[in-house]
Structure 1
Amino acid sequence: MPWLKLLHVSAVIAWAGSLFYLTIALALASRETSPAVFSNAHRRTLLRGLFVGVATPAALLAIASGTAIFMLYGPLAPWLIVKLGVVGLLVLGHASCGMLVLRIERQESPWTKLAYLVCGLSLLWFATIAWLALRKPF
């Protein structure tokens, strides 16, 4: 069981870090005057590579290992139900980042202030999940 928890925590850290970096990279890539690293040739490689190669596998691993921990421990506490709801919001934030990657690749106008907000809120949701898991307030 400790190995499963270590796997879960490691995957969550990788997911949080990649979403944090991806949010900043998306904001830079969508600006009118992007830095040289965000030229059209590099956008697809960097943004899609980070989303598909790092963030999504980390998310799937975190969710799968969290589900396995939930199935092995079994007891259903109110804080866990709230935590699972916040994880659902986090998945929406992850999907919003994926939508932004596609819009930037297609060079569509980013009407996406709401999506940027959801991506940014993902960091708050990670903090909320950590607080719920460590504190178990109710």
Structure 2
Amino acid sequence: MTAGAERPEAPLKVVVAKPGLDGHDRGAKVVARALRDSGMEVVYTGIYQTPESILRAVVQEDADVLGLSSLSGAHLEYAKELGELLRANDRADVLFIVGGTVPPEDAEALNDYGVHAVFGPGTPTGELVDYIKANARRVGSA
């Protein structure tokens, strides 16, 4: 690299997680592949994860983004706990998004818990990619 040349920025790192007893992960795998195909580094935690194990992955991987996938209806409880864990572990800089079957009336509560955006069924993966690229690494920098 020549003197004065800018070092290329590392790819965004995204942790995709399935909390609790929600064993339906086809959507999470589709999202993980789309993010990877867009140039992001993706860590998929697999199904049946606890909030603590998800946080551990975010911290160990130094993730820029946490994507929580929920189809079980327990998204409020998991998002609240993960939001608290992120703040308690100095990771409020992580872009926290939720996808899955989330009723629109839950969006405000999710935002209060620290979730930055909610993506429902049928969201084009390109929309998700664009959102992450536009917002990751900007959280907490304002």
* TM-score in terms of structure 2 length: 0.27
Task: Return the index of the structure with the highest Cα Rg.
Answer: 1
Q: Which structure's residues are more often strand, by fraction?
A: 2
* TM-score in terms of structure 1 length: 0.27
Q: Which structure's residues are more often helix, by fraction?
A: 1
